[in-house]
Structure 1
Amino acid sequence: MITTRIAVAGAGYIGQAHMAALLQSPTCQLAAVVDPSPGARPLAAQAGVALYTSLEEMIEKDRPDAVVLATPNQLHVAHAELCMNAGLAMLLEKPLAPTVEEGRALVRMADEKGARILIGHHRAHSPIMAKAREVIKSGVLGRLVSVMGSALFVKPDHYYADAPWRRAVGAGPILLNMIHEVHNLRMLCGEIVAVQAFASHAVREFPVEDTVAINLRFANGALGTFMLSDTAASPRSWEQTSRENPAYPTYEDEDCYVVCGTDGSLSIPTMRLKTYPRSEDRSWWKPFEVGVVGMIRQDPITHQMEHFGAVARGETQPLVSARDGLLNLEITDAIVRAAKTGRVIEINLS
């Protein structure tokens, strides 16, 4: 079988995850690593591939079939433009750009060039999310009413010391973490049309936030609340509940989302389902039928890489398009603006 040669630019945490997925892929192979930092050299050597200090050098000397762009957020646009001009398919990590304006320009360029871009919202490839969407779409919950979500965890101090850009404007947990949650919430409950938020940086005192309380309104009338913090000692985050990434300790009895409808609720990722057996019996004095939805747990990064290989070969369209990535960025930007102004920010879906 001819495998798809994919280079990884950026050998940080997420870049290393992509490298690992490529090294075990049956349809793709790691072609090269692109990173100017000294720490990238042993990683490339261990993987048995060439190391380049720039994308330009790699494209000139050993052009791959596609590129994973796992570089710092501030470099996403320049690197994406370089890959588009070279005609290379790309898996572009989220956010697709540091600002909405740059994201819109990137999407326009992608449309003009017919670029093949998959945005790295890897949870879109999670079997847990696929099953949750299936349950909600089945109608067993009735009409959607609300969603409660959280991403509460503690990032250690060295996370910021190792990469100071993470504490600068253009990073922070809203863009680095909440943007994942935005895409999950859109998959589960539909389009988000308005947001409110309070933000604080009282604990870390960085220029960016460390804790945010968010309200959401969906196009179908459902409402949502979300708590986000990278300094809250809690396991109620996707990483610590989904059991998809062995790098994180997990807690089987914890959830990070509860989706509620008129007939029942689904807790995710435990997949505990509580429903009323008949609509006429809906009442807090009546007992629920209680069960757990069966599903499998697999690494979504692995699924994402197989999908990206198919996108690079022209076999399928991206599950998360550049326009999806832009809308996720616009919503997270709206959350930032809502926190700064105290206003409700409406989302333009047109």
Structure 2
Amino acid sequence: MANLQSRALQLRIGIVGLGIAGSALLPSIAKHPYVKVTAASGRNKERLEKFASDYQAEYYFSVEDLCRSEQVDAVYIASPTELHAEHVKIAAHYKKHIIVEKPLAVSVEEADMLIQAAERSGIHMIVGHSFSFEPPIRKIREIIEEGKLGRVRMIHNWYFNDWIYRPRTPEELDTSLGGGVTYRQGSHQFDIIRYIGGGMLRSVRAMTGQWDESRATEGAHAAYLEFEDGTVATAIYNGYDHFHTTELTFGIGEGGPSIKPAGYASSRKTIQQLDNSDAERRLKSQKGYGGNQSKNYAKEEYNQPFFGLTVVSCERGDIRQSPNGLFVYGEDEKYEIQLQQETGRDVMIAELYDAVAQNRPPVHDGRWGKANLEVCQAVLESANERKEIYLSHQVAVDPLFRKVSQ
């Protein structure tokens, strides 16, 4: 790995996978004054060539070739979940710092191997993009730490949307490969809940739902979670494209855009009209970098992002999100805290840079990602066995978290 000090602490990132996640990170890399995207790997030659032209960057058809590059200091692994283990091991072997998309792996045991690989190589590994990076979630935690509302007692995250009927690859609908809403989206919910509550969950009791035989994976779950200190939480997710919680979140969705529905159950109807999984795969591919349905993330309308409806109850007040920040319902008044327009991906890039440049341990490291993964597995196990599952790999939130700008 090249010496960052010799290059005025410039951090060069290579992206593994130019799908939706890889494309969404590019504006945040561009915003950071000391971070630059220099390479990408993937299978689509046309997409890679466009990327190379747009960013004057290298491109490769293999992850190993990308990680060999002297122009890359860190990699963002945005490949499918079932490939995370292979790709993290390659990046660690070549001593590249890592951001790996959630979930970290498909089992706690696999996560342990990846954490050990990163530690042996002396590199930093962050698991993201998780929604506890988002300014409103971090600000809620900050308010709790200040203690003005007393101790946190209840945390709820409820999300109803069309996830199961968005274009999916077959692997994304295979639970054994980390597919379904519990692995893919529960990992966000449990991350939010654990961050707000301090991290140390004690147990899980849950149910899951597979309600469409043509999409044979979890499309819904309901989980009751208890923290070691007695704080309780619920995580409700329903991705079957009927009611959407954007009706309760000011019409604002993930990432902060105002959602403009294409019509009732439009996602479900679109998927039902496709002939086969190949047609669905092609439709999803169009949403990746350079595709004819890709978003321009740099120009997207921005509000504070909502991952469903989050409501937090403390001893002396409640907190929920507003389009510009947070509504706080105190003992004597309701007031709004407005936050600067900083995305969670901006924070994630800053967390990686600070880890590398200042050797500052990241909050969202491998053990944090493993703890979220443990909750995902516990939800599935609890639903299958119809019993409470106790947790053993939880980690606490570091109290030295970054303050949120207002």
* TM-score (norm: length of structure 1): 0.87
Q: Does the alignment pair 1:36 with 2:80? A: no
Query: For the residues of structure 2 that align with 1:342 and 1:205, how far apart are their CA atoms?
Result: 25
Alignment check: 8 A CA contact 2:14 2:38 kept:
yes
Show the counterpart of 1:104.
Answer: 112
User: Which among 151, 169, 173 is matched to residue 167 of structure 1?
Assistant: 173
Partner of residue 265, structure 2: none
Equivalence map 1:120-139=2 (5 Å): 120-139=128-147
1:291 aligns with 2:323: no
Find the partner of 1:257 among 310, 320, 325.
310
After the TM superposition, which of the residue ranges 224-233 and 267-276 deviates more from structure 2? 267-276
The 5 Å alignment of 1:1-350 reads 3-38=10-45, 40-41=47-48, 42-155=50-163, 157-160=165-168, 163-169=169-175, 170-190=178-198, 191-203=200-212, 205-232=214-241, 233-236=243-246, 241=252, 244-246=255-257, 248=259, 256-269=309-322, 271-277=326-332, 289-349=333-393
Q: Deviations over 1:22-47 (max 9, x none)?
A: 23431111111111134532334333
Q: Distance in 1 between matches of 2:17 and 2:75?
A: 10
User: C-alpha distance in 2, partners of 1:78/1:139?
Assistant: 43
8 Å CA contact 1:243–1:297 kept in 2: the answer is no
C-alpha contact (below 8 Å) 2:95/2:122 kept by paired residues: no
Query: Is contact 1:235–1:241 with CA below 8 Å preserved after alignment?
Result: no
Give the superposed CA RMSD.
2.6
For residues 18-76 of structure 1, what are the alpha-carbon distances to aligned partners after superposition, in whole Å with 9 as ceiling and x for unaligned? 22322343111111111113453233433332221012222335441111111111111
The superposition leaves residues 240-298 of structure 1 with CA deviations (integer Å, 9 ceiling, x where unpaired) of 6467433855999x871111122211113552222224xxxxxxxxxxx2222232232
State the shift of 1:184 in Å: 1.1
CA 1:331 to 1:234, structure 2 compared with 1: closer, same or farther past 3 Å? same
AA at the equivalent of 2:245: P
**Cα 1:222/1:2, change in 2 over 3 Å:** closer
* Structure 1, unpaired ranges of 5+: 278-288
Residue 159 of structure 1 aligns to a residue in which SS? Answer: coil
The residue type equivalent to 2:26 in the other structure is M
Aligned-pair identity (%): 21
CA gap 1:266/1:247 in 2 versus in 1, 3 angstroms: closer
- 1:151–1:238 contact (8 Å) kept in structure 2: no
- TM-score norm. by structure 2 comes to 0.76
CA distance in 2, matches of 1:319, 1:239: 30
Q: Does the 8 Å CA contact 2:67/2:90 hold for their aligned counterparts?
A: no
Give structure 2 stretches of 5+ with no counterpart: 1-7, 261-301, 395-406
Amino acid at match of 1:272: F
Amino acid corresponding to residue 34 of structure 1 in structure 2: S
Change (3 A) 1:4 1:112: closer
Q: Distance in 2 between matches of 1:113 and 1:68?
A: 17
The residue matched to 2:185 in structure 1 has which SS?
helix
